[in-house]
Amino acid sequence: MFAKFNFKTPCSKLALSMIFVMCHLALFAQSYIGHTMDNYAGVHAVAYNPANVFDTPFRSDINLVSASGYLGSDFIGLSFSEFLSSGGEFDFDSDAERFPSETNHFFTTIDALGPSFLINLGDQQSIALTTRVRGLFNLNNIDGNLYERISDGFDIGNDFEFDSKNLNATAHVFSEIGFTYGRELLRTQDQFLKGGITLKFLMGAGGLFASSPELSGNFNGVTNQLVTQGSLSYGSTPGFESDSPEFNELQGGFGADIGVVYEYRKRIMDGRIQGQRVQQYKFKMALSLTDIGSINYKNSENTLYDANGDVNALEFETKDLEEVLEDNYPGTTVTGDQKIALPTALQIMADYYIGSRFYVGLHTGLSMRGSGNSHTNNLVNTTTVAPRFESKWFSMYSPIGLRQYGDFAWGLGFRMGPLTVGSGSILTNLFSDNSKNADVYLGLKIPLYKNIEY
């Protein structure tokens, strides 16, 4: 999608490498949109709410490998059907539609769930152990006209002005090991409440970060001079290579998720198996706070540039952005500790049982990190409604959602025993002329079901 995202900075190099990986893992990636509402999601649902570890249909659920990919921008939109049928002849300059504004956003998330499992410990508590590797990139509040000129080149005779406020970019690659504990908190004839917490040990490979409270200016197409006002800081963690992140010199940190799930268990008459109801609840409501925490990187470098000045735009054709800054603007470099915060988010989920194994679920994810905050990644706010059919060995869901910066999204996914595959945007990507985001997922696990069927 971002073939022209050649901002020529280390941050953009990381974003490009993430996009490159996601495109090559497109058939092997997972974003869980729609799937996490499934009562048979098992260990995958723990990432959204640790309370989901308890009272599942499983004696144990073992994830072998899963991967997720999600990228997008409100700057560029394209027709995926034309892209796929172009035979490699798709021209992003002429065939992709652009939507420049004073506050454009780019985002990429890659999430690989490694060997993980959940297991019941009696009738009132359960535990899970999860391993993940995650790569996150956000570029927030950049003036689209400036981005387009730096990316594509400055046009002689084409004047323009720009004004970016709270501009920031953060790229972060890290892994985590999570231990989850969940248990029953309340049970009556019709009411059920459970809670859970995940404690995470974080291992950071490193990151890159840039920010500016305000960066404005103008370009004179006759003199080819770019005049700027403001300031810009740029930094990185020690030894971090954006093109090929390595996990050799890890920095430690801690994180946590916490959540509760309430169920209204009205008597369901769809059938009985061994004296138990096939469906346990009529209505379910879940609330969780995920990704609390940060990683502190010692001996990180951060350079603050005084961006009041001017530069010949031809320099952008032969130098990367960091070289342009160093050659034209005075800067002060400091070395010290730098925290990169996790993308803390509030997760809200509701699920209603229609009958005959049909459900309709609602999931809302709200970022607790604002797009103006530096040294942190932020998730894209989403609201998704997902009707689904659910059974022990097979589920199918079709999520319909609204996404911040990306408008409307409609997808399709299914679970067939150990295999889960789908996308929260595949249908809109196939039919829309200007898709602004894309995601796709796949997972493989070993489900060990209870004797009682839900």
Picking from 305, 342, 344, 310, the residue whose alpha carbon sits closest to that of residue 325 is 305
Alpha-carbon 143 to chain mean position: 22
- pLDDT of 360: 96
Looking at domain 10-449, which of 1.10.3470, 1.10.1760, 2.40.160, 3.30.70 is its CATH number?
A: 2.40.160
Q: Which tokens in the block code for residue 134?
A: 């995650």
pTM of the model: 0.86
- pLDDT of 275: 40
- pLDDT of 87: 64
CB 108 within 8 A of CB 70: yes
- pLDDT of 10: 36
Distances (CA, A) of 318 to 90, 153, 190, 371, 383: 26, 11, 69, 31, 43
* Residue-by-residue pLDDT tens, the chain, 454 positions: 333 333 344 334 333 333 333 333 333 333 578 888 999 999 999 999 999 999 999 999 999 999 988 888 999 887 776 666 666 666 666 667 888 999 999 999 999 999 999 998 988 999 999 999 999 999 999 999 888 888 777 877 788 899 989 999 999 999 999 999 999 999 998 999 999 999 999 999 999 999 999 999 999 988 889 999 999 999 999 878 655 666 677 899 999 999 999 999 876 555 444 444 456 799 999 999 999 999 999 999 999 999 999 999 888 888 888 888 899 999 999 999 999 999 999 999 999 999 989 999 999 999 999 888 889 999 889 999 999 999 999 999 999 998 888 678 999 999 999 999 999 989 998 888 888 888 899 999 999 998 765 5
Distances (CA, A) of 261 to 186, 303, 359, 437: 11, 46, 17, 30
Residue 327 CB neighbours (<10 A)? 10
